[in-house]
A and B are shown apart, each in its own frame.
Chain A
Amino acid sequence: MFISRLKDHLVIDRLDIFSLEILRLIPVSANPEGSREAEERLFSSPETVEGKFTEDWEAYVEPELRHLFQSALETVESGIKSVEEIIPEEGGIEYRLRIPWNHLEAWMNAVNQARLVIAAKHRFNSADLEGGLPESIESPRDMALLQIHLYDFLLLSFVQEME
């Protein structure tokens, strides 16, 4: 996978089918449904001791955040649908994804939502996350860790492009 910057968009090039499928999982993986930990991580409290501010926050701010997060996921979902199929000279199939510059914030948000939800659902700690790629994929937890590492690469590439 290579990321390059053109005038008005980023290009994710030389995507193999596996990496593309991992990208397609972003909106699904970002769904916190069924996990209180994931829901609480995405919508954390704005106070250490909850009071009136938290009440107002839940009534007025949280719906805005939900809208922001959902909108980011929809941008990514629709972006992935426009993936191009490339047939290189040496054979096989590769994919190319173009991300308009003004969609980059949404991509960063969606990728980070997915990372946080996956980590919360699998209760990954610092040691898990800093331990590198799993040696083999033998469980959903191994797969989740691999997914997070791929999203880390993507997110940090986006951060670099923003600089």
Chain B
Amino acid sequence: MSKTVIEKETKQETATAKPWNVVVHNDPVNLMGYVTMVFQKIFGFDRKRAERHMMEVHQKGHSIVWSGDRERAEFYVQQLHGYLLLATLEKSE
């Protein structure tokens, strides 16, 4: 009985929880081709999608490259830092 209650609460929490964003920020030194390659490697984006995010970073100063659960978002931020990109974890508004 108690297990059923916990499951219901968990489902409700998951449904209302706001996702976490992985945000990549512009920097003048990282090369466009390199950033595109990193997006393809980490997120499995095809070239067109990777280039779209890269251009967004370049032109708007940042791009949300992934949204979802916190644990995975933290993992992606760590991966991006490993490739020396400026990346932050932010809660979706």
Q: Which residues of A are in contact with B by a Cβ distance under 8 Å?
A: 41-48, 53, 61, 64-65, 68, 108-109, 112-113, 115-116, 119, 124-126, 129, 152, 155-156, 159-160, 162-163
The A/B interface has a contact count, at CB < 8 Å, of 62
> What residues of B have a CB within 8 angstroms of the CB of A115 in the complex?
29
Any A CB within 8 A of the CB of B55 = no
> What residues of A have a CB within 8 angstroms of the CB of B34 in the complex?
108, 112, 155-156, 159
Q: Which residues of B are in contact with A by a Cβ distance under 8 Å?
A: 23, 27-31, 33-34, 37, 74, 77-78, 81-84, 86-90
> What residues of B have a CB within 8 angstroms of the CB of A108 in the complex?
34
| Chain A to chain B contacts (Cβ below 8 Å), 21 pairs | A42-B84, A46-B81, A47-B90, A48-B88, A53-B89, A61-B78, A65-B78, A65-B81, A68-B82, A108-B34, A109-B82, A109-B84, A112-B34, A119-B28, A119-B29, A124-B28, A126-B28, A155-B31, A156-B31, A159-B33, A159-B34
